[in-house]
């Protein structure tokens, strides 16, 4: 029998590694099992987020954005750069370096905090035992007073477009193209599809996005979604709504995609196709027979508000449980669960989790949209402010977008904040903090903001809730 731990965490993504570090910081003897191996055959921490998700996509979004800024916008501000060409090999090299730094950082944090890193596949075989199958097939069983499952998610595949090596790919494949595809198809105009479509469009692909739904970004406040659609179309993304993909055929180096829209059956040919239709929970092989951990009807591990599964002492967090599939949501659940295991009182505020789409401009929101609030029967008042009237945005040559605040008409309490603008992903933290503290729109309106800053647009939107923005006629 191998070691006994207070906590064993299965999965070292942003849910699992954060839970493990926090548990160790609270004095619990902690191990974290991870099965992910990189191209060199080395076990790597960080999960989807660090290896094929948040971090590599942001590295390519940043490099491709800088390229477009230099090529298309530097001359507007008096910097002449001549002709520019992207060096894709170097961009991919940069992305790999960023991944390596982040992944290496987690391993260092495990060491510094005394987390035992177990390499291999973890399986819960009873409420107090985890079996780990090493990469060499050797099995070992570890006892634990508490188990945290953080096994994450994987991309959804759809029958009309089965993945084929380097031609029809998922989000991970789309981070690996070694040259710019001339004609690129993206199925799904959600968060990940828009980000990956933007990367390759900026680098020169003609991008067509096929989205089955008639509404663009239905989860986003529609004033912000409409503005975003207008701006992304202006950048050259051909976003087709109400386009339902029905089949595909690989012909040599091309893929022909069939879809139906309001005009009937359509066909379009691409050099590469990215399938980005969502992600599903990954629980394969994590639960032994008769452990008693229940899944819900969609395959997520069933948990309560404190991430407790149906078996006492076994918790589950992150993408493998209900809620937003976001790294920071997974991490916060990891902290909450570690705190609970250590005997502290801990809660999560699921109403104040920000979402960001890292297009240019970025789209970010927290809380309720105007549409959601109204359909929940809440009377609302709203205030919006365009970045074209913000001095700093003009000085940044980034005047696109707007900020909008949705507040309860009766109490003035902020219900949601919605932004499309340069750096919206940073600005949204103000909305998150305001909501976490239960602020009213007036609280933000009475706050002194630095000038000139793009944050002033949030201030003006808060003033606009009562109809008194200063810099708007």
In angstroms, what is the minimal distance from the CB of 106 to ligand FAD? 10
Beta partners for 116? Answer: 31
122 is in an annotated binding site: yes
Instruction: Provide the H-helix boundaries in 235-381.
Output: 327-341, 370-375
Q: Residue 110 and residue 104: Cα distance in Å, rounded? A: 10
Determine, following the binding rule CB under 6 A, whether residue 188 of this chain makes contact with ligand FAD.
no
Q: Residue 157 and residue 279: Cα distance in Å, rounded? A: 9
In angstroms, what is the minimal distance from the CB of 52 to ligand FAD? 6
Determine, following the binding rule CB under 6 A, whether residue 102 of this chain makes contact with ligand FAD.
no
Region near ligand FAD per CB under 6 A, out of 13-21, 299-307, 383-391, 406-414: 13-21
Between 142 and 358, CB nearer to ligand FAD = 358
Region near ligand FAD per CB under 6 A, out of 12-20, 83-91, 207-215, 247-255: 12-20
Determine, following the binding rule CB under 6 A, whether residue 23 of this chain makes contact with ligand FAD.
no
In angstroms, what is the minimal distance from the CB of 358 to ligand FAD? 6
Determine, following the binding rule CB under 6 A, whether residue 13 of this chain makes contact with ligand FAD.
yes
Q: Residue 53 and residue 114: Cα distance in Å, rounded? A: 27
- Total Cβ atoms within 10 A of residue 86: 17
Region near ligand FAD per CB under 6 A, out of 34-42, 159-167, 201-209, 267-275: 34-42
Q: Residue 469 and residue 447: Cα distance in Å, rounded? A: 14
Residues forming the active site: 451
Between 13 and 416, CB nearer to ligand FAD = 13
Look up residue 135 and give its two tokens: 């990469």
In angstroms, what is the minimal distance from the CB of 153 to ligand FAD? 5
Instruction: Please select the residue that binds ligand FAD; options are 63, 129, 153, 390, rule is CB under 6 A.
Output: 153
Concatenated DSSP letters of 145-158: EEEEE---EEE---
Instruction: Please select the residue that binds ligand FAD; options are 151, 382, 384, 421, rule is CB under 6 A.
Output: 151
Between 153 and 390, CB nearer to ligand FAD = 153
Q: Residue 203 and residue 84: Cα distance in Å, rounded? A: 11
Q: Residue 253 and residue 272: Cα distance in Å, rounded? A: 8
Instruction: Please select the residue that binds ligand FAD; options are 325, 341, 441, 458, rule is CB under 6 A.
Output: 325
Q: Residue 19 and residue 7: Cα distance in Å, rounded? A: 10
Q: Residue 164 and residue 168: Cα distance in Å, rounded? A: 5
Number of residues that bind ligand FAD (CB under 6 A): 37
Instruction: Please select the residue that binds ligand FAD; options are 8, 192, 414, 420, rule is CB under 6 A.
Output: 192
In angstroms, what is the minimal distance from the CB of 227 to ligand FAD? 21
Instruction: Please select the residue that binds ligand FAD; options are 301, 327, 405, 441, rule is CB under 6 A.
Output: 327
Instruction: Provide the H-helix boundaries in 54-87.
Output: 54-68
Site for ligand FAD in 349-378 (CB under 6 A): 358
192 is in an annotated binding site: yes
Residue 17, CA distances (Å) to 117, 311, 320, 332 in order: 10, 22, 15, 11
Site for ligand FAD in 110-129 (CB under 6 A): 121-122
Q: Residue 297 and residue 280: Cα distance in Å, rounded? A: 12
Instruction: Please select the residue that binds ligand FAD; options are 28, 53, 59, 460, rule is CB under 6 A.
Output: 53
Q: Which residues bind ligand FAD (CB under 6 A)?
A: 10-16, 33-36, 47-49, 52-54, 57, 121-122, 150-153, 171, 192, 282, 285-286, 318-319, 325-328, 330, 358
Residues annotated within the binding site for NAD(+) are 188-195, 211, 278
């Amino acid at each position: 029998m191998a070691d006994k731990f207070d906590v064993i965490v299965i999965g070292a993504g942003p849910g699992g590694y954060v839970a493990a570090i926090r548990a160790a910081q609270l004095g619990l003897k902690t191990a974290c099992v991870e099965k992910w191996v990189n191209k060199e055959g080395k076990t790597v921490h960080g999960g989807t987020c660090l290896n094929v998700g948040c971090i590599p996509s942001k590295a390519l979004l940043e490099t491709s954005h800088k390229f477009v800024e230099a090529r298309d916008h530097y001359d507007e501000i008096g910097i002449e750069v001549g002709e520019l060409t992207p060096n894709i090999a170097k961009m991919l090299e940069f992305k790999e370096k960023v991944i390596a730094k982040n992944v290496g950082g987690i391993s260092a944090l495990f060491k510094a905090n005394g987390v035992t890193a177990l390499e291999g596949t973890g399986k819960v075989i009873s409420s107090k035992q985890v079996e780990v199958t090493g990469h060499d097939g050797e099995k070992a069983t570890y006892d634990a007073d508490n188990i945290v499952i953080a096994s994450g998610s994987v991309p959804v595949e759809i029958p009309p477009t089965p993945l084929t090596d380097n031609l029809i790919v998922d989000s991970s494949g789309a981070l690996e193209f070694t040259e710019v595809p001339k004609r690129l198809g993206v199925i799904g105009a959600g968060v990940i599809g828009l980000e990956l479509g933007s990367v390759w469009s900026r680098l020169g692909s003609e991008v067509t996005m096929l989205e089955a739904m008639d509404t663009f970004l239905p989860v986003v406040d529609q004033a912000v979604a409409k503005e975003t659609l207008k701006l992304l179309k202006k950048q050259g993304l051909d976003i087709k709504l109400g386009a339902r993909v029905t089949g595909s055929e690989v012909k040599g180096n091309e893929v022909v995609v069939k879809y139906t829209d309001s005009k009937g059956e359509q066909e379009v040919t691409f050099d590469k196709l990215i399938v980005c239709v969502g992600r599903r929970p990954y629980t394969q092989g994590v639960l032994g027979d008769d452990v008693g951990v229940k899944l819900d009807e969609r395959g997520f591990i069933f948990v309560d508000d404190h991430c407790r599964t149906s078996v006492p002492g076994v918790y589950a967090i992150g993408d493998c449980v209900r809620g937003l599939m976001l790294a920071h949501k997974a991490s916060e659940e990891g902290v909450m669960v570690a705190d609970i295991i250590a005997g502290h009182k801990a809660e999560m505020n699921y109403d104040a989790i920000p979402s960001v789409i890292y297009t240019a401009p970025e789209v970010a929101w927290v809380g309720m949209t105007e549409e959601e609030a109204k359909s929940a029967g809440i009377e609302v008042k709203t205030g919006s402010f365009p970045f074209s009237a913000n001095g700093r945005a003009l000085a940044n040559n980034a005047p696109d977008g707007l900020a909008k605040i949705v507040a309860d008409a009766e109490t003035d309490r902020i219900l949601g904040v919605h932004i499309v603008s340069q750096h919206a992903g940073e600005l949204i933290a103000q909305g998150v903090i305001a909501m976490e503290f239960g602020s009213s729109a007036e609280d933000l309106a009475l706050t002194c903001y630095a000038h000139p800053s793009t944050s002033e647009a949030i201030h003006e939107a808060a003033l606009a809730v009562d109809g008194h923005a200063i810099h708007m006629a």
